[in-house]
């Protein structure tokens, strides 16, 4: 593998600013790797080779002082294909948006490019971000770079696989119930769910608006911190955007004196390897000076049940616009209602249809209070439960997922088992809290990870703990991609 592809984001910025590596060389190295491995692993839905190459040449022409003002100077990134861009297409992994070309850029894309980043392409995802394995993409599944017979997680599986497989230096994902953190854990990279409202959602194709959030996927915690500082900040175009300045970025890694919550018990079905990995890491944090405090998370199974009422309900509302008249590819038919039926039947995949129907039922007359009303009450109880926990501890260290990457196709016929992959992630979205997934090495050839959870706007603290975890963990090597993929 080219040495250029081993550089972290912060190392790459130093190299390109100094002129020891040109942005054109760096982008060319990534595009070459994409050309070799994207086909078999199906990570990017579209490669923006021409615009990326042109942008690299433009950046190479900047003066030293101009380069120094760009915190992401020359950094090649990939963007999840539910974030709109003014070049290429934006499909959200769905046939109903096949060929759609947006006239503008999402705020997060604007901010990254303004900071000097170069977008290499759009990554694969579960259709409309509804899934935990990237098997629900209308354009075919993404394979896990560590084992092409296994899933990369979802819905941001393409973004996580791109960073792990060295097809991009960093990537953007979206997280509605774990869709950044779970694939980051499955692919052995860092994934951050920011505090709700910390990062603008303007230009993100909506799944569940009160839960969706955009965040970075990177190789290191420091890289995630740099990206978040660029991405974060108030955006008047997003009514849920917080009037908070971007968080400070430091290199602090000490956990001495911190009170870290650890789980007093685990539900059945947690992979013993996941539990052993977490126990080892919490002991390492204790050895580094942290004080461990036993806590009980707000009931994860109740959180999962509430999530799978609230998220589909919001999805049924958000996706009603895709009718072939206002939005989406049209399927011609006789009569307006027939046009709706034909368009949606052809344009939406099975998982999206399932969630739309579930959400519509939960919002229907006679059932609203029984389902959606009760789910929102559970949501508030979960948020209150976290508030009580953070009166006792500074942060929580827990699993990102209860399992490790599972084989392709294994859970497609068992939705509940698929949904259980998000057991430790959905409650954060319900409460609007930040969470950071950090890889801690390989076990039996597959990545393992832990999750750090904090109060609202505690991202600097999460990065601090994440750095300590990185230093205590086994280093993550690069996966050995096969040009034949699963074959």
> Domain spans of the chain?
3-258+393-472, 300-378
Q: Which of 94, 133, 156, 179 is catalytic?
A: 179
* Predicted local distance difference test score (pLDDT) of residue 416: 86
pTM exceeding the 0.75 threshold for the entire prediction = yes
* Predicted local distance difference test score (pLDDT) of residue 228: 98
List residues bridging with 159 in a β-sheet: none
For residue 155, whether the previous peptide bond is cis, meaning omega lies within 30 degrees of 0, is yes
Q: Are 455 and 390 in contact (CB under 8 A)?
A: yes
* Residue 234 to residues 108, 202, 238, 242, 244, Cα–Cα distance (Å): 11, 11, 8, 6, 6
**What are the backbone angles phi and psi of residue 73, rounded to the nearest 5°?**
-55, 115
**What are the backbone angles phi and psi of residue 291, rounded to the nearest 5°?**
-100, 120
In CATH, the architecture of 3-258+393-472 is Alpha-Beta Complex (3.90)
156 is catalytic: no
133 is catalytic: no
The Cα 34–Cα 171 span in angstroms is 14
* Predicted local distance difference test score (pLDDT) of residue 486: 56
The Cα 434–Cα 304 span in angstroms is 17
* Predicted local distance difference test score (pLDDT) of residue 367: 87
Low-confidence spans in the chain with pLDDT less than 50: 1, 487
Task: Describe the strand order of the beta sheet including 259-263 as a list of residue ranges.
Answer: 44-47, 118-123, 76-80, 170-174, 214-218, 190-193, 435-443, 446-453, 395-399, 259-263, 291-295
The Cα 9–Cα 36 span in angstroms is 22
**What are the backbone angles phi and psi of residue 209, rounded to the nearest 5°?**
-65, -30
Q: Are 5 and 30 in contact (CB under 8 A)?
A: yes
Run of H or E including 383: helix 374-389
421 is catalytic: no
Q: Which of 24, 28, 80, 458 is catalytic?
A: 80
* Predicted local distance difference test score (pLDDT) of residue 485: 66
* Predicted local distance difference test score (pLDDT) of residue 338: 85
Q: Which of 24, 132, 133, 155 is catalytic?
A: 155
């Amino acid at each position: 593998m080219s040495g250029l592809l081993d550089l972290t984001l912060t190392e790459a910025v130093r190299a390109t600013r100094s002129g020891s590596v040109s942005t054109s060389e760096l982008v060319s190295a990534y595009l070459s790797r994409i050309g070799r491995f994207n086909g078999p692993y199906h990570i990017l839905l579209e490669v923006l080779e021409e615009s990326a190459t042109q942008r690299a040449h433009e950046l190479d022409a900047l003066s030293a002082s101009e380069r120094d003002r760009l915190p992401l100077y020359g950094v090649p990134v990939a963007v999840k294909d539910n974030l709109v861009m003014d070049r290429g297409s934006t499909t959200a992994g769905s046939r109903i948006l096949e060929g759609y070309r947006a006239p503008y850029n999402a705020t997060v894309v604007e901010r990254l490019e303004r900071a000097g980043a170069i977008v290499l392409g759009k990554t694969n995802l579960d259709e409309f971000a509804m899934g935990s394995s990237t098997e629900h993409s209308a354009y075919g599944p993404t394979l896990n770079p560590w084992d092409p017979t296994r899933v990369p997680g979802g819905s941001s599986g393409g973004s996580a696989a791109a960073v792990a497989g060295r097809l991009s230096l960093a990537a953007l994902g979206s997280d509605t119930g774990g869709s950044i953190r779970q694939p980051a854990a499955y692919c052995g990279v860092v994934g951050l769910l920011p505090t709700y409202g910390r990062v603008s959602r303007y230009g993100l194709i909506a799944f569940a608006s009160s839960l969706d959030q955009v965040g970075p996927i990177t190789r290191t915690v420091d890289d995630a911190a740099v990206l978040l500082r660029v991405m974060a900040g108030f955006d008047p175009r997003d009514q849920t955007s917080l009037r908070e300045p971007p968080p400070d970025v430091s290199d602090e890694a000490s956990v001495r004196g911190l009170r870290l919550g650890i789980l007093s018990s685990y539900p059945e079905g947690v992979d013993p390897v996941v539990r052993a990995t977490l126990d080892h890491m919490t002991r390492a944090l204790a050895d580094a000076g942290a004080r461990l405090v036993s806590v009980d998370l707000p009931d994860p199974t109740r959180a999962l049940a509430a999530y799978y009422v609230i998220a589909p309900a919001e999805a049924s509302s958000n996706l009603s616009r895709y009718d072939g008249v206002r939005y989406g590819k049209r399927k011609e038919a006789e009569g307006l209602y027939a046009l709706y039926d034909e368009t949606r039947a052809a344009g939406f995949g099975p998982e999206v249809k399932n969630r739309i129907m579930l959400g519509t039922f939960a919002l229907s007359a006679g059932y609203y209070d029984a389902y959606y009303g009760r789910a929102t009450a559970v949501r508030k109880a979960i948020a209150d439960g976290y508030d009580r926990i953070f009166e006792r501890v500074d942060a929580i260290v827990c699993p990102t997922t209860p399992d490790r990457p599972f084989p392709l196709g294994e859970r497609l016929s068992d939705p509940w088992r698929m949904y259980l992959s998000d057991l430790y992630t959905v409650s954060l979205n319900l409460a609007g809290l930040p969470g950071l997934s950090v890889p801690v090495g390989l076990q039996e050839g597959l990545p393992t990870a832990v999750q750090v959870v904090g109060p609202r706007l505690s991202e600097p603290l999460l990065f601090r703990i994440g750095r300590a975890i990185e230093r205590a963990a086994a280093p993550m090597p690069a996966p050995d991609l096969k040009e034949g993929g699963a074959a």
